[in-house]
Structure 1
Amino acid sequence: MPEMPEVQGLVDFLREKLLPSGAPPAVVSDVEVLSFAVLKTAGVPVDALRGSPVTGVERRGKFIVLHTGGVHLVMHLAKAGWLRWSDALKPGRLRPGKGSMALRVRFAPREGPGHDGGDEPGFDLTEAGTRKALAVYLVRDPADVPGIARLGPEAFDVDFAAFTGLVAAHRGQIKGLLRDQSVIAGIGNAYSDEILHAAHLSPFAVAAKLKDEEVSRLYEALRAVLESANANAAGRPAAELKDSKRRAMRVHGRTGEPCPVCGDTVREVSFADSSLQYCPTCQTSGKLLADRRLSKLLK
């Protein structure tokens, strides 16, 4: 699932394409809904976007928000969604089908250096697999999107004192706290694994029982991991962001590989629809975590 660093990378990329310095903003020429399940709102018609200039692109949590004046296109890529940009989309509308295509947004051809005035740039939203969770909203106010209305503060907006309070108030496992968008926005399964590995903490540790030194270590790891990931994503085209993220992971998605810190084998805990990865030596004093939703250490 794309998380804060990759979503921010996509936002920066779109901003560069749609709001180029010294040039007029891009104008939406067409929107094609190719999977009717993807559009989660009915109050604002798709036609309201056509002919509208882009006024801004921003990230809120793991949401991409495309502003066009009075209408906002809000996108959440979920677990298997992605945004694919083209400087020259093929002419002609696509037929809705059962493939990976969910939405296409076209922009009016540009004039000037590097543009012949005929190519229509734009992007597609695609989703792999059969479980369709990609979500698109057309709203008058981004706060009308339930997921945005529930967001907690952005990770970099939480200072140490506030973070300490959030940890102390959370009665569940620390992995769950890091992933809870209503507590801290933008962190998901992958970066919570990476943060916990960097902090040398078990994903099953109970948040409220962490010692002061462990909370401090966790906060420093959160900042360091996300800052590194943001730097890794910065300036990359959309097509490179996913592979760049995978290459940078130390434990997430590395089951069976050696830990880059200690050399121990990275282990996995599997759930019904997800999994987490960790290093026993770095995080659990060498003990293996019980699999299949169990939250106790194996004896």
Structure 2
Amino acid sequence: MPELPEVEALAAYLRERAVGRRVERAEVAAISALKTYDPPPSALAGQPVTGAGRHGKFLDLTVGDDLHLVVHLARAGWLQYRESFGGNAPLKPGKGPIALRVRLDDGSGFDLTEQGTQKKLAVYLVREPAQVPGVAKLGPDPLAVDLDAFSARLRARRGQVKGMLTDQEVFAGIGNAYSDEILHVARLSPFALTNRLTDEQLGALHAAVREVLTDAVTRSTGQKAATLKSEKRSGLRVHARTGLPCPICGDTIREVSFHDSSLQYCPTCQTGGKPLADRRLSKLVR
């Protein structure tokens, strides 16, 4: 799933490539992806692209004076930018992975695509980003929160630190992959309870959030959409590296599986050398 750094990089790429062009037309191929009906996608035609930004994991393309094409790419969605579509034939609804196509007046544009059978990519055309339910509930950007505010938000909700970092109402933009990386840098168990974290641990966690996300944004920005996924993978130290050696201590990266996801961690760096029990099998070992 694209997280804060990748969505920031996509927004930067659209600012560079699409801002200043006019929308020729927007074509919806998967009606299930479009979550709003007023204004209709046809309202984009002829309007200039005036900006691109993000709200947590939501990508926001500003069109004209007051239209916002807000996109949540979910787990399997992506943006594919094309210099040319190789023709002007309209999309056929329900055919292939394309959910939405936006054509620009120079012949370029982008497709919003989604692989797999679970279709969760969501597209909203609104006049204010806050009209999108998910955007309205977002917590603050983790890169814009100082240590005191960061600590207060975590201590206000009792829970496992992994879950709190990925709760979009607590902080906007951190997902499964970067939370694993952050906890590894902070040397914290993913199941440590937020109300039991010491001031020193909270300080280390806040510093790790800034270090990991800032580094990822720096590496991602300037990349084309087509190379962002591989760039993300190349920078990961524990996430999706089960069975490989930890780059810090050499211990074997372990995994805890859930019904639809998993997390990775280093026992030596994060849990005092003790492997965590798989949640599917037994009670968690803290």
User: Which TM class, normalised by the smaller chain length?
Assistant: over 0.9
- The number of residue pairs the alignment matches comes to 283
One of 25, 35, 51 as aligned partner of 1:40:
35
1:26 aligned to 2:21? yes
Match for residue 73 of structure 1 among 45, 69, 73: 69
Q: What per-residue deviation string (whole Å, max 9, x for no partner) do you get for residues 185-217 of structure 1?
A: 111110000000000000000011011111111
1:166-186, CA deviations, whole angstroms, 9 ceiling, x for partnerless residues? 121120100011101111111
Match of 2:173 among 186, 208, 227: 186
Give the structure 2 partner of residue 56 of structure 1.
51
Q: Does 1:266 align with 2:253?
A: yes
Q: Secondary structure at the match of 2:60?
A: strand
Matched, 1:296 2:284: yes
Structure 2, unaligned stretches of length 5 or more?
Answer: none
Corresponding residue of 2:162: 175
* Residue equivalent to 1:141: 128
Kindly provide the CA deviation profile for residues 58-78 of structure 1, in whole angstroms up to 9, marking residues without a partner as x. Answer: 111111111112221100101
Asked whether the equivalents of residues 204 and 295 of structure 1 are also in contact (C-alpha less than 8 Å), the reply is no
- Of the three residues 170, 184, 190, the one matched with 1:197 is 184
Quote the Cα distance in structure 2 between the aligned partners of 1:76 and 1:234. 19
* Amino acid aligned to 1:241: L
C-alpha separation between the residues in 1 aligned to 2:219 and 2:230? 11
In structure 2, what is the Cα distance between the partners aligned to 1:8 and 1:229?
10
* CA distance in structure 2 between the aligned counterparts of 1:136 and 1:70, rounded to whole angstroms: 16
- Match of residue 88, structure 1, among 84, 91, 106: 84
Structure 1 Cα separation of the partners of residues 186 and 67 of structure 2: 42
The answer to whether structure 1 residue 126 and structure 2 residue 113 are counterparts is yes
Shift of 1:295: 5.7
TM-score (ref. length: structure 1): 0.92
C-alpha contact 2:143 2:209 (8 A) present in aligned 1: no
Matched residue SS, 1:37: helix
Deviation at 1:272, TM superposition (A): 1.1
Partner Cα distance (1:90, 1:207) in 2: 53
Alignment of 1:9 with 2:6, yes or no, is no
Partner Cα distance (2:102, 2:49) in 1: 12
Is this contact kept in 2: 1:289–1:295, CA < 8 A?
no
- Is the contact made by 2:278 and 2:284 (CA closer than 8 Å) also made in structure 1? no
- 2-structure distance, mates of 1:6, 1:67: 18
Partner of 1:101: 98
**Distance 1:98-1:243 versus aligned 2 partners, 3 A rule:** same
In 1, distance between residues paired with 2:154 and 2:283?
Answer: 18
In structure 1, the residue corresponding to 2:108 is in which secondary structure? Answer: strand
Secondary structure of 1:55's partner? strand
Provide the secondary structure at the position in 1 that maps to 2:17.
helix
Structure 1 residue runs of 4 or more that deviate by more than 4 Å after TM superposition: none
Question: Is the contact made by 2:154 and 2:194 (CA closer than 8 Å) also made in structure 1?
Answer: yes
1:287 to 256, 274, 283: 274
Is the CA contact (8 Å cut-off) linking 1:18 and 1:54 kept in structure 2? Answer: yes
Residue 241 of structure 2: aligned partner? 254
Partners of 1:210 and 1:98 in 2: how far apart? Answer: 50
Residue 296 (structure 1) shift: 2.1
Report the TM-score, using the length of structure 2 for normalisation. 0.96
